[in-house]
Structure 1
Amino acid sequence: MTAFDLSGRLAVVTGARRGIGRAMARALAEAGADVIGVSASLEKSGSDVEKDVRAAGRGFEAIRTDFADPDAVRALGADLAGRERPVDILVNNAGTIRRAPAAEHPDTDWDTVIQVNLNAQFTLTRAVGAAMVARSHGKIIFTASLLSFQGGITVPGYTAAKHGIAGLTKALANEWAPHGVNVNAIAPGYIATDNTQALQDDQDRSRAILDRIPAGRWGRPEDLAGTTVFLASDAAAYVHGTILPVDGGWLGR
């Protein structure tokens, strides 16, 4: 057994159906954790993420929850916090994005993005985190963003939410670190997923992005795997309140 071994632990991964969330769930399973995958459209059985987890020899449970529905998120939190088998690792990865110039940005888009990317994250983490604090053990990982540090273009709601996630990570770490609960965040760079498809398809924007990334390529979801396992493991026991970029060097440019 190593400090990175997650055998016997239970991980909840939101936004687990595809992209970064699926890669995170797979990495945690390969490190030994059983996984509860949560997504608004996750298949009850037979999903790709379930196949990944079971191929690693770990248990999997699917929960469908719409993070745009505050009542559904509260119910999910109560369910997970009240289970006989406690949640050891919570990965808050669910998210959405809406693109429109700020002067034309609809209230509905703003409200949806803030609810899914920030409000729901706090609601779920409050419930699961309280149970972790009571047990004096737990790992919480948020998916932040480069836009936790920068402003972005035509995504004011997303930027505000991801700045909020960075602050929430630090605030919860301040309160919960003394109780044995690690709260940290990963800030992915430009990763080739559905959320960035519009940027990948825009030749000028894609070229400008690539020109700034020292690594010279778009990131892949599996580039987040090692960081996820690290922050979920005992190897990160003294890491609290950190927003860790995995960005191909973007922020260092």
Structure 2
Amino acid sequence: MTRTVPTPQAPRTVLVTGGTSGIGRAIAARFAADQDRVFLTGRRPGTVEQAAEELGVHGVTCDATDPGQVAALAAGFGELDVLVNAAGGLPQAAPEDVPALEAVLAQWHSSLAQNLLGAVLTTTAVRDKLTSGSSVISIGSIGAERRGGSYGAAKAALAAWNAALSGELGPHGVTSNVISAGYIAGTNFFQGQMTDERHDALVQETHDKRPGTVEDIAETAYFLASPGARHLTGQTIHVNGGAFTTR
């Protein structure tokens, strides 16, 4: 009986925005472990250089909310197999002397820029680099479903945009999905404000009684970019241990 030997997959070109820490870094590391050609971005040259060196990948300093920087980033690529929009975060606090309404406006602008517009700009800039078999993956949040404020609203908008994007890219053989992450421990997302009490409460909301890890999200991203996920597009994949359920 003749056994067919699978043809090794050629290294892919992968771009991960916000790849210097947390979820983005874990995703960059996962693709790098598969011998893919990985590029990570971040806003600060020092952290970009350090993360790239530690992971053995390419680093590019780029603020995903700056159109000029994003255009320059895109110009450096030929074909792109995987785009992961992982850049994002909580809004920056306005100075105390700013009038209340101006502070609210600044907070919402910050949330939308970091968690929606950066993904829109980056994806638009590299769109002509995507080919049949490429994947676009954006990192969302359980905050889009509850208690998310301006951050959650931006992540909800990210999912709505993704649904439209999938319809545009699908006919060209490109998939587009959002990973909606639940509580992920061990990141700097909460900027030092996570308490033991809040940690315990978030864990109790899950069905498996554990916090998520950056590896949980990285493995999901890796799957979404795999041949086995080619008919999976336009979706928001909830990775939260059951803290928020769908049917």
Per the normalisation by structure 1, the TM-score is 0.83
Equivalent position of 1:64 in the other structure: 61
Query: Which residue of 1 is the match for residue 124 of structure 2?
Result: 126
Q: 2:179 aligns with which of 162, 182, 186?
A: 186
Flag as ranges the 4+ runs of structure 1 deviating above 3 A.
42-46
Q: Provide the rounded CA distance (Å) in 2 between the counterparts of 1:48 and 1:6.
A: 26
Q: Which residue of 200, 220, 223 maps to 1:227?
A: 220
CA contact (8 A) 1:10 1:86 kept: yes
Counterpart of 1:41 in structure 2 is 44
Question: Partner residue of 2:96?
Answer: none
Change (3 A) 1:231 1:6: farther
1:63-109 deviations in whole A, cap 9, x for unaligned? 111234333233333x24xx3x3111000000020387xx8753222
- Matched residues in 1 for 2:87 and 2:225: separation? 17
For 1:27, the equivalent position in structure 2 comes to: 30
Alpha-carbon separation, structure 1, partners of 2:30 and 2:17: 14
Supply the AA of the counterpart residue of 2:110. Answer: T
8 A Cα contact 1:93 1:143, kept in partner: yes
Contact 1:147 1:159 in 2 (8 A): yes
Trace 1:70-219 onto structure 2 (pairs within 5 A).
Answer: 70-77=67-74, 79-80=75-76, 83=77, 85-98=78-91, 106-132=104-130, 135-148=131-144, 150-152=145-147, 155-192=148-185, 193-198=187-192, 200-201=194-195, 203-219=196-212
Q: Higher mean Cα deviation, 67-76 or 157-166?
A: 67-76
SS at match of 1:88: strand
Q: Residue 71 and residue 178 in structure 1: after superposition, are their counterparts in 2 closer, same or farther (change >3 A)?
A: same
Deviations 1:38-57 (A, max 9, x none): 011243875235322x2xxx
Q: Whole-Å Cα distance in 2 between the matches of residues 112 and 232 of structure 1?
A: 29
More helix by share: 1
1:50 aligned onto 2:53: yes
2:138 maps to a residue whose letter is F
1:18 to 9, 18, 21: 21
Structure 2 unaligned runs (5+)? 94-99
Q: CA deviation at 1:194?
A: 0.8
Displacement of 1:136 after TM fit? 3.0
Using the alignment, how far apart are the partners of 1:6 and 1:163 within structure 2? 35
Tell me, what secondary structure is at the counterpart of 2:80? coil
Query: Partners in 1 of 2:10 and 2:104 — Cα distance?
Result: 46
- Higher deviation after alignment, 40-49 or 60-69: 40-49
Give the number of the structure whose alpha-carbon radius of gyration is greater. Answer: 2
8 Å CA contact 1:166, 1:243 repeated in 2: yes
RMSD value, Cα: 2.5
- What is the aligned partner in structure 1 of residue 238 from structure 2? 245
Cα displacement string for residues 226-247 of structure 1 (whole angstroms, at most 9, x for unaligned residues): 2111111111111111111111
Does the 8 Å CA contact 2:133/2:230 hold for their aligned counterparts?
Answer: no
Alignment check: 8 A CA contact 2:41 2:48 kept: no
Q: Over residues 186-238 of structure 1, what are the superposed CA-to-partner deviations in whole Å (9 max), with x where a residue is unaligned?
A: 1111002111355532x443232122112212211112122111111111111
| In structure 2, C-alpha distance between the alignment counterparts of 1:243 and 1:195, rounded to whole Å | 21
